[in-house]
Amino acid sequence: MLRRLSTRRSWLWLTAIMTGALLLIAPATPAAAAGSVTPMVWHRYNIYEPISPSHERLRCLTDGQWRCLYDTVPAPTLGLSNPRVKGTFIGTDVTDSWECPEADWFPTDICDSAAQVVSGTQSFVFPGFGQLFTVDAVYIVTDDGTLWNYWVDQFVCPWYPTFDEALTTSEGCTFNPALPPI
């Protein structure tokens, strides 16, 4: 006997199918066909989870437009939680026109070492809750290979090329003090 999928589950399936379709269609673009798609991966040790820290991963394809998938990686042997959050980012390179935020709380050394800046929209789904939210985000890749995920006027967090580097680096997120704490 087949059961009907709940609205929550239907939302999750729809999001997964649309994200997969986006990544399948994207390589058909002329730039991708010419072999210029660059896959990149970054990791973050998220100490801000309510139960225990988590391993976050960001996988991106770039060919003029950035298409990224966000997820959390199970790591029970390290005692890390896995909230199973999924997300996407779609953005374009704005390196030549981007200006460093003038907020006192934003670290200016990020701006000084910015090698590439990508502006776009980041969306998230929380499995089990069916909630979806979207934020304006800017990815700043510095000359040392670190990606800084800047949620405009909210916070900026570092992401690293390997999870080992994320675990051994003490750099944390910088939050806008004018906003309520998370």
Task: Kindly report, residue by residue over 149-168, the tens digit of the pLDDT.
Answer: 999 999 999 999 999 999 99
Is 181 inside any structural domain? no
Burial of 182 from C-beta contacts in 10 A (0-12 / 13-18 / 19+) = exposed
**Is the Cβ–Cβ distance between 90 and 120 less than 8 Å?**
yes
The string of pLDDT tens digits covering residues 1-43 is 334 444 434 433 334 434 443 333 344 333 333 345 667 999 9
The whole model's pTM is what? 0.78
Give the integer Cα–Cα distance in Å for 44 and 161: 9
Element (H, E) at 54: strand 54-62
What pLDDT score was predicted for residue 137?
Answer: 98
| C-alpha to C-alpha distances, 95 to 100, 110, 143, nearest whole angstrom | 11, 13, 13
The string of pLDDT tens digits covering residues 61-103 is 988 799 999 999 998 889 999 988 899 999 999 999 999 999 9
Give the integer Cα–Cα distance in Å for 53 and 96: 36
Question: Domain containing 159: what range?
Answer: 7-175
What pLDDT score was predicted for residue 170?
Answer: 79
The string of pLDDT tens digits covering residues 100-138 is 999 999 999 999 999 999 999 999 998 877 778 999 999
Phi/psi of residue 174, nearest 5 degrees = -115, 125
In the block, residue with structure tokens 């670290």: 107
What pLDDT score was predicted for residue 37?
Answer: 60
What pLDDT score was predicted for residue 98?
Answer: 96
Q: How many domains is the chain built from?
A: 1
Is 182 inside any structural domain? no
148, 151, 153, 158 alpha-carbon torsion, rounded to 10°: -20
Is 111 inside any structural domain? yes
Is 52 inside any structural domain? yes
What pLDDT score was predicted for residue 132?
Answer: 81
**3-state DSSP call for residue 17?**
helix
